[in-house]
Chain A
Amino acid sequence: MFKLLSKIFKTPKKTILVEKKISGSLSIRQVDAGSDNACEQELVALSNPIYDIERFGIHFVASPRHADLLLVTGPVTRNMEGPLKKAYEATPNPKIVVTVGDDALDGGIYKDSYAVVGGVSKVIPVNYHIPGNPPSAKIILSHLLKIMEIIKNNKEIRI
């Protein structure tokens, strides 16, 4: 127990700067539309102590009802097309759809397989794309912060 307490007071101080500038509230609902779990690993890394998106007021939520941002990963397989649409309808406005990874853009390496419908944009309107196969956690984080920038500056992102 003592070791735990002592470790707490040695957290690095330098990252405090970034967090001051951007703070708001963004809840993300991650929809796995048939992804090969590469992007998921990176998204999980986002909430560990190093990247810690919690600092910026971003948190992952369970149901699209609570979410403002739908983070879609992976090419949309035929089975996931319906549920993806349902998730999109279940998210209250104003909502943003962000696709992570090349598979989500246009099907990526699985483009013409019989099971894949194609990119996410074929199923639901997409606002933002984070390239990379899979994009590293840092890249995803920077993109997310950029999205929050956009939201903060011009309030009128309305779908």
Chain B
Amino acid sequence: MNMIILIPLFSPLCIGIIKKIKAIFQNRIGASIFQPYRDLWKLFHKDEVISRDASWIFKFAPFIIFAVTLVAGANLNGDILLIIYTLAIGTFFLALAGMDTGSAFGGFGSSREMTVSALAEGGFIFSLLTISNINLASHGQSFLPGILAFAGFFIVLLAETARFPFDNPATHLELTMIHESMILEYSGKRLALMEWASFNKFLIFCFLGANLFFNFGFAFIPIIIFAFCFAVGFIESTMAKFRFFRLPDLLIISFIFNVVAIGLMF
């Protein structure tokens, strides 16, 4: 149960670290790693402007999505399908909230988000399946499947948390933003909750990756999560964002990695 407190506490830190790494790569100093905390704190103390067309879904979605990330955090070492489908509730309400205010950006953001998450689900389920049963590997060689499954999982991580090759978190260019466009309409505490939920989601994915793929022990988890942040920061500084219709190929690659991993394992 301690995850419910740990994850929301440390997720802004991870995002701060990623931003710092990106800044260093761009040869500028960049904000301190605790900047996300300040942003959240400021947003929580601002008023809200809600559009006339918004229904109760727009108003409740932030709370549901934030709670979903906490629930997923709570049973991280529970059943993999439960985690996947709990996160799917988050995506479901995020997409609905995006469409609710009737702005062009929100609609397109949800359509792209649903496309990416629909295609990512195959790889996601298979990678977690492979890893959670890696010890059952009958043929003894569990190294190659582990690598392939991790590669597949990392691609899914980038897809689900709207990271670089899939979607640029910093950009606000209508053509490319997927995750940002859905929370364009939010302000004040609801925006804070949505941001915090996406931070949590990122940390959950890192934790899943660290916990399942490198089960060295609880002490090493922070180091591995830092490694994840570094990797994401590195990719965001050195790679270009893919065109939208090149993303399915990447996701199918991740799916095939995992299928091969399972095929090899048993």
Q: Are B27 and A11 in contact (CB under 8 A)?
A: yes
Interface of A is mostly: loop
Q: Are B172 and A62 in contact (CB under 8 A)?
A: yes
Q: Are B38 and A4 in contact (CB under 8 A)?
A: no
Q: Are A52 and B25 in contact (CB under 8 A)?
A: no
Q: Are A4 and B29 in contact (CB under 8 A)?
A: no
Q: Which residue of A lies closest to B35 (CB)?
A: A57
Which of A7, A49, A55, A63 is close to B184, meaning CB atoms less than 8 Å apart?
A: A63
Report the minimum CB–CB distance from A27 to chain B (whole Å). Answer: 8
Q: Are A66 and B29 in contact (CB under 8 A)?
A: no
- Asked if B249 CB lies within 8 Å of chain A CBs, one says no
Please judge, given known A-B contacts A62-B184, A65-B187, whether A8 and B47 are in contact too, CB under 8 Å.
Answer: no
Q: Which residues of A contact B185 (CB under 8 A)?
A: 63, 65
Report the minimum CB–CB distance from B232 to chain A (whole Å). Answer: 17
Q: Which residues of A contact B49 (CB under 8 A)?
A: 65, 89-92
Q: Which residues of B contact A56 (CB under 8 A)?
A: 31
Which of A8, A15, A59, A65 is close to B186, meaning CB atoms less than 8 Å apart?
A: A65
| Bound-state Cα–Cα, A56 to B30, Å | 8
- Asked if B188 CB lies within 8 Å of chain A CBs, one says yes
- Asked if A142 CB lies within 8 Å of chain B CBs, one says no
Q: Are A7 and B46 in contact (CB under 8 A)?
A: no
Please judge, given known A-B contacts A23-B32, A54-B31, whether A66 and B26 are in contact too, CB under 8 Å.
Answer: no
Q: Which residues of B contact A62 (CB under 8 A)?
A: 172, 177, 180, 184
Chain A to chain B contacts (Cβ below 8 Å), 26 pairs: A7-B27, A8-B24, A8-B27, A11-B24, A16-B29, A23-B35, A24-B38, A25-B38, A27-B39, A49-B26, A54-B30, A54-B31, A55-B28, A55-B30, A55-B31, A57-B32, A59-B31, A62-B177, A62-B184, A63-B184, A63-B185, A65-B184, A89-B49, A92-B47, A92-B49, A92-B187
The 6 closest A-B pairs by CB, nearest first: A62-B172, A49-B28, A65-B187, A25-B38, A52-B28, A25-B42
